[in-house]
Structure 1
Amino acid sequence: MPIDVSTLAGWVGAVTTALSPLVARIEAHVREADRLHLDDTPMPVLAKGKTRTGRLWTVIRDDRPFGGPEPPAAAYFYSPDRSGAHAETWLGDFHGIVQADAFSGFGRLYEPGRKPGPIREAACWAHARRKFFELADLRKAPITIEAVTRIDAIFAIIERAANGLEPDERRAHRQAHSAVLVADLAAWLRENRAKPSAKAPTAAAIDYLLKRWSAFTRFLDDGRICLSNNAAERAIRPMAVGRRNWTFAGSDAGGHRTAALYTLIETAKLNGIDPQAWLADVLARLPDHPARRIDDLLPWNWTPSRLHQIAA
C-alpha cells in the first residue's frame, strides 16, 4: 500500500529529532579540530509554484593525512542562502585552519581580529589546477599546459609520499622537496603573467594563484594542511547525486533535516561503518540508553548490540 509523502516526511522528522543528540556530538567533535575542510552546494527548496536556492554546507574533520589519532567526521548544515555569515555562525568558537575555495563570503573568517581567535586560510591547489586544466583542454595554450604540469609535479610524487606522516615529518618533507618546486612555479607565473592580455582567462587563472599566494603556500610550513580541499568535495558529492532523485527539499525545515541525516550517514561511512546497520541499532537502543553515555553510540565508538548481532 502506498504511503503518503506527508507521512514519510513525518517519520523522517521524528527520526532526526531522536538522533539529534548524536548530530550535536558529531558537530562538537568537528569543531574541536585544529584544521577543517569547508565546502557548499546549491540545494533547491520548494517555494510557491517554484523552487528557490538554499545551500547545504559540509565541514569535514579528517586528521588521517597527517597521522592524527582522532576519528574523521562530516558535519552538514543548511542555510536559506549563501551568505558567508552562516559558516561564520556555525564555526562559532573554532579557531585554526580552514581549507576552502576562494569564496568571497569567507573573508570575515580570516580577519586578524576575529574572536575568539583567527582562522588561517589554506587554499586548494586542486581548484587552482582546475582553472588551468580547463583552459589547457579547451585552448591547448602552452602556458596553461605548463602550469598543469608544474602543479602536477607537486601533487604526484612529493605529496603522495608525505601522506600519513606526522605533521613535523610532513613539514620537513615539504621543505626538502616541495618548496623549491613552489618557488620555481611562483617565478614562472610572474614571468608569464604579462604575456596574455589582462582580461584573458589565462591571466585570470594566474591571478587566482598569485593573489592568494600566502594561502596557497601555507602548507609548506604546516604539516597538518592538505594540498587540496578534496575531502570536502568528496563529502558534498552525495548531495549533488542525490538531488537527481529527490529533486528538492520541501521547506527550510526539510533542509535542516537533510543536513542532519547527511551528518549521520557520511560520518558513519568515513569510519567504515554501514550507516543502515548502525542507525537501525542506535534507534532501537536510544529509548533506554543513558544520556550521559551518548558518546558510546557514535560511529567510531559503536559496538552492535547483541540482538542486532543475532538479527544480522
Structure 2
Amino acid sequence: MYFYAMQTALEDLSKEDLLRVISSRDEKIEYLESQLAMYRRMQFGQKRERFEGDPNQTSLPFDAEPAAVEQQQEAIREKIEYTRKRPNHKGRAKLPEHLPVEEIEIHPGGDLSDMVCIGKEITEELECEPARFYIRRYIRYKYAAKNGEGVEIGELPERVIDKGIPGAGLLALILTDKYMDHLPLYRQKQRFARENIQIPSSTIEGWTKEALIKLHPLYEQLLFDTKTKGYLQVDETPIKVLESDKKGACHRGWYWVYHSPLDGMVLFHYQPTRGEAAAEKLLDTFKGYLQTDGYGVYRKYGDKEGITHLACWAHARREFEKALDNDRQRASHALSEIQKLYAVERRAKQAGMDAGTFKELRLTESLPVINGLGKWIFEELKNTLPKSQIGKAMAYAYARWDALSAYLYDGNLCIDNNPVENALRPISLGRKNYLFAGSHEAAQRAAMIYSFFAICKKHEVNPFQWLKYTLENIMTINHKNLKDLYPQNYKIMAHKSNM
C-alpha cells in the first residue's frame, strides 16, 4: 500500500518537480558517500584487539628438554662473543661539552717499575645517575651579646612552602614531571617509594598546589602583557573537570591559548565555557592582528574596529584534503596551489629574510597564486553541490578569503595558526595520562604552569632549571623586576652568569 501511494504521488508530479526530487536525492546520496569515505580514511586500525589463540593448543610445558637447554646456552655464548667483537660503527654522536667529566685512570696490571709511559688512549661515554634525593639541613647558630642585651641568629632563607619539607628543586621536579613530561602524581609517588621515601598522595597534591600558587603573580603579569600584544594567535582545546553540576559526570572546560609570534609568549587561560564570554578578558580591549581558525566566536572580535582578522591556511588546506575521496581532481588542484604558498614560506625562512624583504617576496610570488585560486574557487562553486565535501572546502575558503589573504600585509605575519596549535599539544598528552582536573581552580592553576613551560619550549630554556630558580626568587624579587623571571629573561641572565 505504501509503495503504491508513493508511485501515485510521483506520477502526479510535474516533470520539473520530479527532476528537483531526483536532484535532491542524488545530492543527498553524494553527501552521504563523501561522509562515509572521509570516516573510512579517519579509521587507522581495527578497534577489536582481542587475541584468539588456537583452541586445540595444550598447556605450556614448564621444563625444556636438556638438549634444548644446552643448545640455547651455546647460542647465547656465540651472541655474547659477537657483540664483543662487533666492528666500530661509522660515526658516533658528539658528546655535550657543558657536562662535568669524571676521569677514571686505568693502568696495565702487573709490575710496571721497569716500564715507561709513552702515551694514553681516551675513551668517552655518556653516563647518568638517577635523581638524587638528599636532606638539606639548615643549622642556624645563635649568638648572645656579652652584655646580655640581645640574641642574634642566622636568618633562614625564604622557603617555597613555609614550614613544609620540600625544597625548590623537589617541587620543580614534581611540576616538570607532571606538566612537561606528563607523569601523573601517583606514578611519581611510586618512584619515591622505590627510593624508600614514603609520601602520602594528599601531601604531594598539596605541595603541587602550593608551588603553583607561588607562580600566580608572575602569571598575572603575563596576562597583562598578553593583552598589549599587537599580534595574537588564538585557539582552544577541551579539558575534563571533575567539578560538575551533573552527578557522576565531568564538566567540559576549555583552555584558551594565546600566542604572540613576535616574541614567543604563550598564555593558557582556563574557562568553563567555549562561548563568546570566555575570550572577553583577553580580547575585549585587543587591537592589532588576530589570527584564528574558523570557529564562529572569533568573528565578533575579528569584525571589531582596530582588529585585522587573519585566517589559517592550514585549516583551509585540511578541508580540501578531506575532499580527496569526494573529488580528487579539484581537491588536488587546490592543494597544489596551496602548496605553492607554503613553498614561498619555506624559502623565505631558509634564507632568513627580514620582514620587509619577506613581504615583497609574498607580493611577488604568493599574491598571484592567491588571486588565481580565488577566481577558480568562485567559478567552481557555481557547479558544485554545497553539501559535498569539495563544496564545503570551497565554501570554507571563499567565506574567509579576505582573512586568508591578510597575512600578505606584513612580513611578520604567519601564513597559518600552526604555532599556537603546537603549543596545545602538551594538553593532549596530559589528557591521556592524568585524564582530568580536580576542580575549576585546579584547571586554572595548571594553565599557569602550561603557559610558562610553553614559553620555555619556545625559547629553548630548561624548564626544571627555570622553575627551580623562579620558586627560589619569586617571593623576594622586587615587583618592578618581576618580568626578569620570564623564561626568556632567565635564559639571558643565566647566559651572562656563565660567561
TM-score by length of 2: 0.56
The answer to whether the 8 A contact 1:96-1:120 is kept is: yes
Pair 44,286 (structure 1): closer, same or farther in 2 beyond 3 Å: same
Corresponding letter in the other structure for 2:460:
G
The answer to whether the 8 A contact 1:30-1:75 is kept is: yes
Structure 2 stretches of 5 or more lacking a match? 1-192
Distance 1:295 1:216 in 2: 35
Alpha-carbon shift at residue 196 of structure 1 (Å): 2.5
The answer to whether the 8 A contact 1:39-1:100 is kept is: yes
The answer to whether the 8 A contact 1:122-1:216 is kept is: yes
Corresponding letter in the other structure for 1:81:
T
Alpha-carbon shift at residue 159 of structure 1 (Å): 1.4
Alpha-carbon shift at residue 56 of structure 1 (Å): 0.7
1:94-243 matches, within 5 Å, as 94-113=286-305, 118-136=306-324, 138-139=325-326, 141-156=328-343, 158-163=344-349, 164-243=352-431
Alpha-carbon shift at residue 180 of structure 1 (Å): 0.5
Corresponding letter in the other structure for 1:166:
D
Distance 1:304 1:167 in 2: 30
Q: Among 245, 248, 270, which residue is 1:49 paired with?
A: 248
Distance 2:229 2:348 in 1: 21
Corresponding letter in the other structure for 1:252:
H
1:27-38 matches, within 5 Å, as 27-38=223-234
The answer to whether the 8 A contact 2:269-2:444 is kept is: yes
Corresponding letter in the other structure for 2:228:
E
Alpha-carbon shift at residue 254 of structure 1 (Å): 1.1
Distance 1:31 1:25 in 2: 10
Tell me which residue corresponds to 1:67. Answer: none
Corresponding letter in the other structure for 1:53:
R
Distance 1:72 1:22 in 2: 16
Distance 2:299 2:322 in 1: 26
- Matched position secondary structure for 1:59: strand
Distance 1:205 1:27 in 2: 36
TM-score by length of 1: 0.88
Pair 105,5 (structure 1): closer, same or farther in 2 beyond 3 Å: farther
Tell me which residue corresponds to 1:18. Answer: 214
The answer to whether the 8 A contact 1:43-1:249 is kept is: yes
Alpha-carbon shift at residue 198 of structure 1 (Å): 2.1
Tell me which residue corresponds to 1:84. Answer: 276
Query: Which whole-Å deviations, capped at 9, do the CAs of 1:81-105 have from their partners, x for residues lacking one?
Result: 1012211222343211111101111
Query: Which whole-Å deviations, capped at 9, do the CAs of 1:265-297 have from their partners, x for residues lacking one?
Result: 111111110111110121122233222221222
Distance 1:217 1:159 in 2: 14
Corresponding letter in the other structure for 1:182:
I
Distance 1:188 1:146 in 2: 10
Q: Among 197, 205, 226, which residue is 1:9 paired with?
A: 205
Bigger helix share: 1
Larger radius of gyration: 2
Distance 1:250 1:282 in 2: 25
Pair 285,304 (structure 1): closer, same or farther in 2 beyond 3 Å: farther
Distance 1:208 1:112 in 2: 21
Tell me which residue corresponds to 1:58. Answer: 257
Which of the pair has the greater relative contact order for Cα pairs under 8 Å at 6+ separation? 1
Alpha-carbon shift at residue 140 of structure 1 (Å): 5.7
Bigger strand share: 1
Distance 2:463 2:420 in 1: 19
Distance 2:250 2:431 in 1: 13
Alpha-carbon shift at residue 223 of structure 1 (Å): 2.2
- Matched position secondary structure for 1:103: coil
Aligned-residue identity in percent: 29
Equivalenced residue count is 295
Deviates more, 1:296-305 or 1:272-281: 296-305
Distance 1:231 1:98 in 2: 14
